[in-house]
Amino acid sequence: MKGSIMNRQLDGETETGLQFFGKMTASISHEIKNVMAIINESAGLLEDYSLMAEKGMPINPERLKVVSNRVTNQIRRADSIAKNLNSLSHSVDEFQKSVGIRETLELAMGLTGRFADMRSVVLDFQPPPDFPNVITSPFHLLNLIWRVLDFAMDASGPEKKVGLTFEADPTSVKIRFTGIEALTNLPETVFPTEKEASLLGMLSATIHHDAKKGEINLVLPKDDRQQATAESHLERSR
Amino acid sequence: MEKVLLVDDEKEFLEIMAERMGARDMDVTTTTSPKEALKKAQEESYDAVILDLMMPEMDGLETLKKLKKKNPDLQVILLTGHATVQKGVEAMKLGATDLLEKPADLKILTEKIKKAHTRKMILVQKKVEEKIRHILAEKGW
């Protein structure tokens, strides 16, 4: 086993990234199984109908239409799940590229939907009419958005509704998570943890709490390469 | 006729299963809410409860634990998208009768429900016998 991965410790960032990837794909496969179960039972129901018809029992065409619509809806659902999986998989193609914020948040919502359902939390995405882009690592950005959403869902108020929106200025994009009512009772040290801090560092991003409003703002530079260069200049000048 | 309570957060899955199982002479009650399932299981006597492992409101294992606490003889079959060995072992330790992975074969599920029904009947019979023995011993007849 000398030199094998078993003998080496994964660094924190790799571990966090792998855990995120694993969590998302496990949830996706679970959802696909649910879709398959409905399609499987729909096929079984059609078989039941045909056996009934063979025995001379009349079948109402409306019942067939219901099954057909059900299968079509499930195929649409599976298509959307597969698209999310595909986008998540391709997020590791490049670790520095132009990323659409609206598209990234839509993907994050799609990936998080099942987790929200499990916690009976409603996710409410209210995008403004603009389409800002940032140059960053799409995978790490998704991971960070998930981690904030995960915390926000756990810390949401009795309304159990987490809002999500964004706004852009010439140099940065601010992603706003709202409805985090438990923020008022939590010390700022609770969130972000080391794991989020590591992702924030990687993306040259910052997190700001507004406990009174129950909000977390994630601020991303439009180009994290420029931010990194500026920081290294600053570091050298010290 | 087996009396079955089907608990799953997928409404469409419940609708089809209820129709298919009903056509197989089973008396099926459905709910998407684990909390409602606990209430129904207390109000009615079911031969088997078919329970999804992952649901909102309450985890399937937590629901199983509460169902078994209220009625240790209740026959609970878990139906899940993904059954890890760990979850399977945990479910069995908590008293689940069986565990099936989705998509399941209705023939197999029906067999398991019939077995659960038989097991329940045996348990009921045993309890009646015990009760009679107890009365006989107490009264000294």
Question: Whole-angstrom Cα distance, residue A46 to residue A63?
Answer: 9
Question: Whole-angstrom Cα distance, residue B134 to residue A118?
Answer: 47
**Residue the block writes with tokens 């299981």:** B41
State whether A120 and B82 contact (CB < 8 Å).
no
Cα atoms found within 13 Å of the Cα of residue A29, Cβ hemisphere only? 10
Same domain as A148, residue A178: yes
A215 part of a folded domain: yes
A70 part of a folded domain: yes
A207 part of a folded domain: yes
Looking at residue A37, what is its pLDDT?
95
- Among candidate residues A90, A107, A126, the one where a domain is terminated: A90
Q: Give A215's strand partners.
A: A210
Q: Which H helix or E strand runs over A52?
A: helix A12-54
Q: For each of chain A's 238 residues, which pLDDT tens digit applies?
A: 445 555 566 788 889 999 999 999 999 999 999 999 999 999 999 999 999 999 999 999 999 999 999 999 999 999 999 999 999 999 999 999 999 999 999 999 999 999 999 999 999 999 999 999 999 999 999 999 999 999 999 999 899 999 999 999 999 999 999 999 988 888 777 889 999 999 999 999 999 999 999 999 999 999 877 666 555 555 554 4
Domain extent for A166: 97-229
A175 part of a folded domain: yes
Same domain as A225, residue A197: yes
CATH number, domain with residue A222: 3.30.565.10
Looking at residue B108, what is its pLDDT?
94
Q: How confident is the model at residue B121 (pLDDT cuts 50, 70, 90)?
A: confident
Residues in chain A with CB shorter than 8 Å from the CB of B13 are 34, 37-38, 41
Q: In what order do the strands lie in the sheet with B27-31?
A: B27-31, B3-7, B48-52, B76-80, B98-101
Residue among B36, B27, B31 nearest B9 (CA): B31
In angstroms, what separates the C-alpha of B80 from chain A's closest C-alpha?
9
Neighbouring CB atoms inside 10 A of A52's CB total: 13
| Disruptive mutation site among B10, B12, B35 for chain A (greatest number of A CBs within 10 Å) | B12
Same domain as A123, residue A23: no
Please check whether residue A76 touches B, CB under 8 A.
no
Radius of gyration for the alpha carbons in chain B, expressed in angstroms and rounded: 16
A34 part of a folded domain: yes
- Among candidate residues A49, A68, A90, the one where a domain is terminated: A90
Residues in chain B with CB shorter than 8 Å from the CB of A64 are none
Looking at residue A1, what is its pLDDT?
47
Question: Whole-angstrom Cα distance, residue B37 to residue A208?
Answer: 42
Question: Whole-angstrom Cα distance, residue A203 to residue A80?
Answer: 28
Same domain as A192, residue A221: yes
Closest alpha carbon within chain A to B53 = A30
Written as one string, the DSSP assignment of A126-187 is ---S---EEEE-HHHHHHHHHHHHHHHHHT--TT-EEEEEEEE-SSEEEEEEE--GGGGGS-
Same domain as A146, residue A59: no
Domains of chain B: 3-139 (3.40.50.2300)
- Among candidate residues A35, A58, A90, the one where a domain is terminated: A90
**Residue the block writes with tokens 């943890």:** A193
A63 part of a folded domain: yes
Q: How confident is the model at residue B57 (pLDDT cuts 50, 70, 90)?
A: confident
Interface ipTM: 0.86
State whether A41 and B16 contact (CB < 8 Å).
yes
A189 part of a folded domain: yes
Angle between helices A101-118 and A12-54 (to 10 degrees): 70
A236 part of a folded domain: no
Q: Which chain B residues have any C-beta within 8 angstroms of a chain A C-beta? A: 9-10, 12-13, 16-17, 19-20, 23, 54-57, 81-82, 101-104, 106
The amino acid at residue A5 is I
Structure tokens at A5: 């991965």
The amino acid at residue A206 is T
In angstroms, what separates the C-alpha of B38 from chain A's closest C-alpha?
18
Q: What angle do CA B126, B131, B137 make, to 5 degrees?
A: 125
Q: How many domains does chain A have?
A: 2
Looking at residue A8, what is its pLDDT?
60
Closest alpha carbon within chain B to A46 = B20
Looking at residue A173, what is its pLDDT?
97
Cα atoms found within 13 Å of the Cα of residue B72, Cβ hemisphere only? 3
Same domain as A223, residue A116: yes
Contact between B77 and B112 under an 8 Å Cβ cutoff? The reply is yes
Same domain as A123, residue A39: no
Biggest CA-to-CA distance, chain A: 89
**b/e A139-170 (16+ beta carbons within 10 angstroms → b):** bbbbbbbbbbbbbbbebbeeeebbbbebebee
Name the pTM for this structure. 0.86
Same domain as A225, residue A120: yes
Same domain as A131, residue A77: no
Same domain as A163, residue A60: no
Same domain as A223, residue A106: yes
Question: Whole-angstrom Cα distance, residue A126 to residue A87?
Answer: 21
pLDDT tens per residue across span B65-113: 999 999 999 999 999 887 778 888 899 999 999 999 999 999 999 999 9
Query: For chain B, how many residues are written?
Result: 141
Query: For chain A, how many residues are written?
Result: 238
Structure tokens at A70: 């059900």
Same domain as A17, residue A115: no
Residues in chain B with CB shorter than 8 Å from the CB of A118 are 54-56
